[in-house]
Amino acid sequence: MALSSGLGTVLTFFLFFCVFEASDALPQKFFNVMNYGAVADGKTDNSQAFLKAWKYACEYGGRSRVLIPPTTFLLGSVTFQGPCKGSMAFLIKGTLKAPTDSSKFFINTWIGFRYLNDLTVKGGGSLDGQGSAAWGYNDCAQNSQCPPLPTTLRFDFVNNSRVHHLRSINSKNSHFSIFACNNMNISHVKIMAPSNSPNTDGIHIGSSRNIQISRSTIGTGDDCIAMIAGSQNIDIFDVFCGPGHGISIGSLGRDHENDYVQGIHIRNCTFAGTENGVRIKTWSPSLKSLASDMRFEDIFMKNASNPIVIDQEYCPRAPCIPEARTNSLLR
């Protein structure tokens, strides 16, 4: 009797673990950054506390939720890496502020996510890149010898992810960068920077496929959305762009042979007070490149200076001939 009931218990436990292993059904668990040493005074750098919360969340096998409560945190340059054992959510309820000093960022990133599968970033909070001091280096936009400025939110090698209900303001460089990602949905984001802030692209996509951007408002000093080489199957709808330089494909053909952009669908988007509307550009002179299968539907232009631009001699800063560039670097 005692033996059979003992065996029953063992069997029950065994089944219990089998089920959890197989279905990834461990309960959702919150990892509040406050429990890992975060200080919400807006002055203390919380990089270590955030990374520690991420580490424990990443090692948990179930649905991990890193929680940033609704208050203001200063956060230095951090990259949250996978692979993780279960699905990850990053819930930003408060405001994260970047350091103003541009020299303190690693790999041109303020907040990075990389090598992840099944990531959600959401929460209704804000990312404040505190870019205005960095934009002061106006010459940097013209001068390749300046240190590159950090992107606010960078996704590299991330699959099956979602970003929604998030605000990004005053990034030092691009707001969001998506590189080598597959299957990402971005919706209900609000991205803002002044119309005269240099290089503050809203969403910059390269080497990525199956990306959907919808129900969002983007107003910046550069492209609202830019798709460069390797962007494939990008679906953009219900996006309001303005101010900014519009939605751009390219420029292609500057550094690599066979740059391509393929399968772009842009529908029901509004451009208001923008320098351009929709734009396709290849570099001058251009290496062999391809942009194909592009559809633009129900595009509304309100006071867009150049509603449709197809530029096969893209030359942002004349003169573009190689000799002249060399000369200007020697100056």
| 182 lines the binding site for ligand NAG (CB under 6 A) | yes
> How far is the C-alpha of 185 from the C-alpha of 160, rounded, in Å?
8
Residue in 303, 321, 325, 328 binding ligand NAG, rule: CB under 6 A: 303
Instruction: Name the residue type at position 191.
Output: I
Residue in 79, 160, 207, 312 binding ligand NAG, rule: CB under 6 A: 160
B/e letters for 179-191, b = 16+ CB within 10 Å, e = fewer, are bbbbbbbbbbbeb
Tokens linked to 213: 């951007």
What character string, x for contact with ligand NAG (CB under 6 A) and - otherwise, covers 67-96? ---------------xx-------------
| 194 lines the binding site for ligand NAG (CB under 6 A) | no
In the range 237-266, which residues lie near ligand NAG by CB under 6 A?
A: 238, 240, 243
Element (H, E) at 19: helix 2-23
Residue in 71, 81, 100, 183 binding ligand NAG, rule: CB under 6 A: 183
Q: Which is nearer to ligand NAG, 45 or 238 (CB)?
A: 238
> How far is the C-alpha of 172 from the C-alpha of 151, rounded, in Å?
7
Cα angle for residues 318, 320, 326 (degrees, 5° grid): 110
Q: Which is nearer to ligand NAG, 130 or 200 (CB)?
A: 200
Tokens linked to 145: 């010898």
Q: Which is nearer to ligand NAG, 93 or 162 (CB)?
A: 162
Active-site residue 245, yes or no? Answer: yes
Identify the CA nearest to 236 among candidates 292, 297, 190, 182: 297
Rounded to the nearest whole angstrom, what is the least distance from the CB of residue 215 to ligand NAG in the complex? Answer: 7
**What is the DSSP code string of 108-177?**
TEEEEEEEEEEEEEESS-EEE---HHHHT-GGGGT-TTSPPPPEEEEEEEEEEEEEEEEEEES-SS-SEE
| 268 lines the binding site for ligand NAG (CB under 6 A) | yes
Q: Which is nearer to ligand NAG, 116 or 169 (CB)?
A: 116
**Window contacting ligand NAG (CB under 6 A); options: 12-20, 128-136, 153-161, 170-178:** 153-161
Q: Which residues touch 271 (CB under 8 Å, ≥6 apart)? A: 241, 242, 246, 247, 277, 278, 299, 300, 301, 302, 304, 307
Q: Which of 165, 245, 256, 265 is catalytic?
A: 245
Rounded to the nearest whole angstrom, what is the least distance from the CB of residue 180 to ligand NAG in the complex? Answer: 8
239 and 265 in contact (C-beta within 8 Å)?
no
Residue in 71, 81, 108, 185 binding ligand NAG, rule: CB under 6 A: 185
In the range 103-132, which residues lie near ligand NAG by CB under 6 A?
A: 115-117
Q: Which is nearer to ligand NAG, 159 or 312 (CB)?
A: 159
Rounded to the nearest whole angstrom, what is the least distance from the CB of residue 80 to ligand NAG in the complex? Answer: 13
> How far is the C-alpha of 122 from the C-alpha of 169, rounded, in Å?
15
Tell me which residues touch ligand NAG (CB under 6 A).
82-83, 115-117, 157, 159-162, 182-183, 185, 212, 238, 240, 243, 268, 270, 273, 275, 303, 305
Catalytic residues: 245
